[in-house]
Amino acid sequence: MKKISVGITGLGSYVPERVVTNDDISKLVETSDEWIVTRTGIKERRVADENVATSDLAIKAAELALEDSGLDADELDLIIVATATPDHAFPSTAALVQKNLGASKAAAFDLSVGCSGFIYGMVTGANFITSGMYKKVLVIGAETLSKIVDWTDRNTCVLFGDGAGACVLESCDESFGILASELGSDGLNGDVLILPAGGSRYPATAETVKNKLHTIKMDGKEVFKFAVRVMEKSSMRVLEEAGLTQDQLDFFIPHQANMRIVDAAMKKLQLGREKTHINMDKYGNMSAASVPVALDEAFREGKIKQGDVVLLIAFGAGLSWASIVMRWNRRDRDV
């Protein structure tokens, strides 16, 4: 049986218009632009309006990805939405996207893996295609993290932003597409990045709201150490699995969480800044949306060419990580 290769045939991304700068945040908590930039590399982030939900951002990114792919929504077989901020506990955000796109033939479900979610979704979607079950899969990473941030906690409120990115996966020429991937989880340390309340462990009560248990809690030092370690090791493992060496890597799309983490990974991989795309200065950490938005921008700006070896990697809640190495199958955007 001939092996099916899977590549990206469409990309799209969307961020809200509202910009919140570091100076804006310094009016809410004791911090400064210099403090935030020095420690994170973040200068501003996008924040969705009060009446805008995650599915609203996801739909906009999905429409652009479908347009880029040349597909109609009713041709989709599956929609996967990776998000830590779903519109509701149920129905899934993917079901809401399906409804609004008019993708009547598609199955739909969400993935909750925090910032690693989009790559988890890509691997999942690709496996549906290689199994022969589906042919056209839409994967979306979308977040409205501003709605679960404690704006009085300077250790977390400076980090996060809202946005969405999407890709269409289909079979491609066997010399292109996904070459190798890795998914991982370290549940022993899951409590260092957590949204404590709102689930079955701590259902919503007046007490959980009063104690701000419906907002992100993070041990930044532990997450930092985990991220630096896993970004290096997973990158090397996935390259090795693909039969590639570091010097064969053409472009690197890391999760956009902290510039110091990215710099450490780039140093280990012996890559220069010209081989990556950084947008955390504009958007902050958009969790599951970070990688697809960066990927879309990099391709749109002509930084990624057909035949390039591209590595995507992310880490997040779980604690989780995910990486993909692929040989880029798309021609330039204007072709």
* Residue positions annotated with a catalytic role: 115, 255, 285
SS3 content of the chain, % helix, strand, coil (to 5): 40, 25, 35
Residue length of the chain: 335
Q: Could you give phi then psi for residue 50, rounded to 5 degrees?
A: -60, -35
C-beta of residue 279 within 8 angstroms of C-beta of residue 294: yes
* Beta strand spans in the chain (E): 5-14, 19-21, 44-46, 78-82, 107-111, 137-144, 162-172, 177-185, 193-194, 217-218, 251-254, 309-316, 320-327
Long-range CB pairs of 245-248 (<8 Å, 24+ gap) are: 246/270, 246/271, 248/309
136: amino acid identity, one letter = K
d(CA 115, CA 285): 9
C-beta of residue 328 within 8 angstroms of C-beta of residue 308: yes
Distances from the Cα of 125 to the Cαs of 51, 93, 274, 305, in angstroms? 30, 16, 30, 23
d(CA 133, CA 128): 6
